Each structure stands twice: as C-alpha cells, then as structure tokens.
Amino acid sequence: MSFHQPDLESRGSQDFQVLHGQATQRADPLLDDLLLELNAWLGFARACAHSARVQAVLLDLQGDLQRMREPSPPSRAQDLSSFVAERMRWLEEMREALEHERPYRGSHEFPGDTVSGAILDLLSVMTRRMGQELQKEKTQAGPTVREYLKRLPTLLFTLARYEEAQANPRR
C-alpha cells in the first residue's frame, strides 16, 4: 500500500483548484495575490492580538478582502463597488472610534510596545506599498478597491496604537 500522491505544483495551481472544485477565473492575478497575502498577514496579526476588539476588527477586514477576491461577473461589479464603498465608510468610522477611545501618549509613538502592535505597524506599511504597486502596475482593480487599500493603512496604524494601549494601559 502506497501513500504516494502525485505532486501538484502548489495549492494555488490550476490542477489543485480543479481537483478540489475551486477553479475560478482570476481577472487580475496581481490583485488576487496581494489580497491573499494581505489576508494571511491580517490572520497572523489577529492570532497575536491581545484585544478582543482588535481581533474582531481584523476578522472583519479579512472578510472584506475575501469578498474582494471572489470572482465577480460583470453583473456583480456594481454590487462589489457598493460593498467596498460601504466598507470604506466603516473603515473611517472604526478609525475615528478607536482614536477617541485610546489615551493620547504624546507626539512620538514608536512601534514595538507589543508584538501584535509591531505586526500591525508592519502590515500598515506593507498595505501602503501594495496600494502603490497596484497603482504603478495599472491593474484591473476597480477604483473603489484601490481606495480601500489606500485607506486601510491608517486604520491598521490606529489598531496598532489601540492594541498597545490595551496591552500596556499605564504607559
């Protein structure tokens, strides 16, 4: 009895996707890859976060990115645009709420008070870079998706400060 299975190039390969009933047409591979990577980093940050609120926000963001990755026929393009526009309003509202809830610590706040805060800071910078890459490469990402990725780093930075304040309330 052999346990050998034929090698598939990767879990993302066409063969793997067809074999497991996941074959989809990727309209923009660069955007899909960036959203997939960002989703993985958000999961890592969520796993390390101390605050249940930060974990919940990160899970919501992961859901947003997953929705943006779903293949959408032209008939659903407007639905995605409306969804992303509504989620951008949520990003701003959440950022403002978190900023009002955390204590102000002075003009210089440096990353690294907590592992989870440092991960969120790295994620903020990476997300900004991803948005710039999408702009430079002229991808098929709709303007609302690009705008979402443009606003996301600010929320991630705010989440990092909130997470650090929750983990170290006396600092």
Name the residue with tokens 């899970």: 59
The answer to whether domain 28-167 has CATH 1.20.1200.10 is: yes
CA–CA separation, 55 vs 58, rounded Å? 5
Alpha helices (H) along 2-142: 14-19, 29-48, 52-69, 77-101, 115-137
Q: Which two tokens stand for residue 59?
A: 């899970």
Residue tagged 């997939």 (tokens)? 36
Q: In this predicted structure, what is the pLDDT of residue 72?
A: 63
| Residue-averaged pLDDT of the chain | 80
Task: State pLDDT tens for residues 20-38.
Answer: 445 445 567 888 899 999 9
Residue 109 has pLDDT above 90, yes or no: no
- How much is the average pLDDT of 48-71? 93
pLDDT above 90 covers a percentage of the chain that reads 44
Q: What is the pLDDT of residue 169?
A: 63
The predicted model gives 67-82 an average pLDDT of 74
In the predicted structure, residue 51 carries a pLDDT above the cut 50: yes
Please, which pLDDT band fits residue 48 given cuts at 50, 70 and 90? very high
**pLDDT at position 132:** 86
Q: Which residue is it, tokens 């690294």?
A: 112
The pLDDT-based confidence of 124 (bands split at 50, 70, 90) is very high
Chain mean position to CA 60: 9
User: How far is it, in rounded angstroms, from Cα 42 to Cα 102?
Assistant: 21
Can you say whether residue 75 is alpha, beta or left, with left for phi > 0 and alpha for psi between -120 and 50 degrees? Answer: alpha
Give the number of other CB atoms < 10 A from CB of residue 107: 5
Angle subtended at Cα 169 by Cα 168 and Cα 171, rounded to the nearest 5 degrees: 70
